[in-house]
Amino acid sequence: MNAKEKLLREILDLDEVEAARAHIVITDESVEESEMAPLPAGWGETLTGEPMPNVAAAVRRSRESH
């Protein structure tokens, strides 16, 4: 899915109230995906010692699949 298709999908998903308040801002600079901030010590693992899952990426993938 390209950037235009993502934008169109986001616009079409707005309800009437959200659409009435929406504004589109176009910038000249490219916006890259931000990196995750480092976690405090001990937060990088689950209680069982496994690496902490990337919850933000999982939510993003779920939203893109709809």
With contact defined as beta carbons under 8 Å apart, do 30 and 24 qualify?
no
Is the full-model pTM beyond 0.75? no
Smallest CA-to-CA distance from 54 within 27, 30, 34 is with 34
pLDDT along the chain (66 residues), means of 10: 86 90 78 70 86 89 86
Sequence spans of domains, the chain = 3-30+39-64
Amino acid at 63: R
- pLDDT at position 31 is 60
Give the chain's radius of gyration (CA, Å).
17
In one-letter notation, the amino acid at residue 19 is A
Q: Distance between CA 10 and CA 19 in Å, rounded?
A: 10
Do residues 27 and 35 touch, judged by C-beta distance below 8 A?
no
